[in-house]
Amino acid sequence: MKKGLLVVLLHCISTFAWAQQIGKYLGDESFMYAETKQINQFFHRFNAEENLDGKRLYQGDAGYRDLEMRTRYIQMLFDKENPNISAEQKSTFIKEVTDTKSSKYLNYYGKRWFAEVDAKFTYQGQSRTVVLFLELEEENQGLKWVINNVYFYPFTQLFYTDSTAMTKFLHPMSHELDFMNLIKVFKDTKTVEYYFDHDYKPDFRTLFLYEVKKGNLVFESVQKVSFHFFQIDNWYFQLQEFNRPGNNKGWLIANISKIPEDQKSQLLKYIYYEN
């Protein structure tokens, strides 16, 4: 008993020392290293590039991408408490990704996966949620997370909310009047966007950045993180973290859908709140 306790204590001391070492390079973001590693572990287990003891496996190692172990691993990676993921759905997915003729693996560097972060900000004296979408971007032979999309409900209320304004337009002969009729465009600020070209789309990232720089949006904290995966042909799944008793916890597949490749763009718009 004492020996077991000593082992645990030594492990904790070693882990703390390691975290301090990492902290020298990452500052107060050192705790994020462990979180990233947990996501990496999902990749490793999905691909069977880690043994049951948690040791990383590489090409040439015994057990590397072993079919039986991979099948067991992927079965463990589902949220078993989600009634919307059927046994048949899981079975079909596992069979397709482990097919010996066309096995499908996840690639950390392979694009087509991104993070969704619900972050709390102070806006106009109230605590509001901003949804940030982040993806990995290459830089200097390395990678970094960048914000590539933003959703903030108050922004959506500024654009295209008046369906009766669809008929508004500037007469094609307006140039003969030196565009003096522009006065009607800016008279009602709620409908200005209806005078823009058909391809106009509000850029919420720019609005978000403007409000942050003006001090109108002040970051408070991260509320929730999930990941969206489009890498597997004709499949989509979402990864979420579950903190609960038992073995079925951590980063697990929370939602999964079989979806043709040519329909994934529509799903992506839905995730980005563009529909």
Q: How confident is the model at residue 4 (pLDDT cuts 50, 70, 90)?
A: very low
Alpha-carbon torsion 82, 88, 92, 95, what sign? positive
| pLDDT, position 141 | 82
10 Å CB burial of residue 173 (0-12, 13-18, 19+) is exposed
**pLDDT of res. 275:** 78
DSSP strands (E only) in the chain? 113-123, 126-139, 142-151, 217-229, 235-242, 250-258
Q: Contact 202/155 with Cβ under 8 angstroms?
A: yes
Is the pLDDT assigned to residue 262 strictly greater than 70?
yes
- CA R_g for the chain: 25
The confidence score (pLDDT) of residue 248 equals: 84
Among 114, 121, 98, 91, smallest CA distance to 209 is for: 121
Question: Where exactly are the structural domains of the chain?
Answer: 159-201
Q: What H or E segment, with its residue span, contains residue 13?
A: helix 2-26
CA–CA separation, 182 and 162 (whole Å): 19
pLDDT, one tens digit per residue, over 161-198 is 888 887 888 999 999 889 999 999 999 898 999 999 98
Give yes or no for a contact between 239 and 252, defined as CB atoms under 8 angstroms apart.
yes
Residues 251 and 239: their CA atoms lie apart, in Å, by: 6
Q: Are strands 235-242 and 217-229 parallel, antiparallel or unpaired?
A: antiparallel
Determine the pLDDT at residue 55: 87
- Lookup: tokens for 273: 């709140």
Give the phi and the psi of residue 7 in degrees, each rounded to 5.
-60, -45
The tokens describing 262, both together, are 């040519």
Model-wide pTM > 0.85: no
Q: What is the mean pLDDT of residues 34-43?
A: 67
CA distances from 18 to 11, 12, 42 (A): 10, 10, 22
Q: What percent of the chain stands above pLDDT 90?
A: 69
DSSP run (H or E) holding 208? helix 204-213
Model confidence pLDDT, tens digit, residues 6-34: 433 334 433 444 344 444 434 444 333 32
**What is residue 166's predicted lDDT score, i.e. its pLDDT?**
79
Tens digits of residue pLDDT in 106-151: 999 999 999 999 999 999 999 999 999 999 999 888 899 999 999 9
Query: What burial letters (b/e) apply to 72-90, b meaning 16+ CB within 10 Å?
Result: ebbeebbbeeeeebeeeeb
Contact 151, 131 (CB under 8 A): yes
